Amino acid sequence: MGEHVLVGTRKGLFALQQNGSGWESELLGFLGAPVTIAKYDARHKTIWACLDHGHWGCKLSRSRDFGKTWEEVDAPKYDEGLEIKPGVPATTRLLWSMAFAGDDQPNTMYIGTEPGGLFRSDDGGDSWQLVESLWNDPDRPDKWFGGGRDHPAIHSIIIDPDDSNHIFISISCAGTYETADGGKSWEVRNNGLRADFLPDPASSVGQDPHLVVASPQNLDIMWQQNHCGVYQSSDAGKNWTDVSNDVVHFGFAVAVSPSDPNRAWVIPGISDECRTAIDGALYVARTDDMGKTWTDYRAGLPQENCYDIAYRHPLDVSEKTLVFGTTTGNIFASNDDGENWATVGNSFPPVYSVEFATW
């Protein structure tokens, strides 16, 4: 019992736990199978694992005994006849994000998928329905496209803790959308972003937020690591400000402090043509002033011959403790707000997701 870290990897699901000054790792299941994201539903004390079996498709499993046993449940499916674009049938290609509603909707949860469909369950994950309003967005067939995947995919889902009908989702590539009515209607939230890969970089749709997070203290304060920079919003995504500089620009992951909306972390990499640590040295950058300044913290992280990159979901924070994993199978942890780091392990499979969970 206590605080754990769920680690979804290319080859299974692990749980980490601090043990004195070190960390212990336990395989929770799915050895050999890609766990694209693992989440913990504290409402129902349930661990969820989204799987991407190369041969057998996307599967969804849950454990109600903290990983001792697993139950496969129906994964989201697209109805026959739906198309990604004309002539391309819509099928579930990846389960990439998951979020749980608040106490006002105790059995509701969401999964974001490639090719861009958001699925909702109102029975604790037993059955899933496509959120048709988003799927039917007129921009989707022509203005959404793949980024990180062959087709558009939802990687970020933020549910307002005070109102479960108020939701943000983010798509690579389309951008961020907000609903205030439980998904009946959606507004684009991309103002201020820049997409260097589009003919019109300021296009309202087609942006590539790699990950979007909001402060649990104040949902108006949002952060995004974008393909083309780091952005911050103080008005719930209505307007975004580029807060990139020489220290932070390209990367995938971003985390915001649970207690201080001004504080956020990113894990920079060389821009998109390389996608490795910068100059062969890995660092985590932190801002304490809403992105005005960034400090690179390197102590305890490899500073030579390092080509790691952290993807979208393998960084999480709990109070002063941070954990992140990389594509090279390295996992690092810090107990001082990301200033000093210790190695949890160097030989994990490529890490896809990291999330703190207390059970």
Partner 1 sequence: MPTVRFTRHLKRFFPDLEEVEVQATNVCEVIDALEGRFEGMRGYVLDDAGAVRKHVNIFINNDMIKDRQGLSDAVTSDDEVFIMQALSGG
- The residues that touch partner 1, with contacts defined as CB under 8 A, are 142, 145-150, 172-173, 197-200, 203, 208, 210, 227, 252, 272-273, 275, 309, 311-312
**Of 237 and 350, CB closest to partner 1:** 350
Closest-CA residue to 154 (of 204, 93, 106, 105): 93
**Of 27 and 188, CB closest to partner 1:** 188
CB 352 → partner 1: shortest distance, Å? Answer: 11
Cα of 291 vs its chain's centroid, Å: 20
258 burial via Cβ count (<10 Å: 0-12, 13-18, 19+): middle
Q: Which amino acid is at 341?
A: W
How far is the C-alpha of 209 from the C-alpha of 110, rounded, in Å? Answer: 19
- What's the token pair of residue 179? 């609903």
**Of 28 and 284, CB closest to partner 1:** 284
- What's the token pair of residue 289? 């002033």
CB 161 → partner 1: shortest distance, Å? Answer: 28
CB 237 → partner 1: shortest distance, Å? Answer: 21
Q: Is the Cβ–Cβ distance between 94 and 113 less than 8 Å? A: yes
How far is the C-alpha of 308 from the C-alpha of 277, rounded, in Å? Answer: 5
How far is the C-alpha of 138 from the C-alpha of 143, rounded, in Å? Answer: 9
CB 331 → partner 1: shortest distance, Å? Answer: 18
DSSP letter, residue 260: -
**Of 200 and 304, CB closest to partner 1:** 200
CB 199 → partner 1: shortest distance, Å? Answer: 5
**Of 276 and 303, CB closest to partner 1:** 276
CB 190 → partner 1: shortest distance, Å? Answer: 15
**Of 39 and 155, CB closest to partner 1:** 155
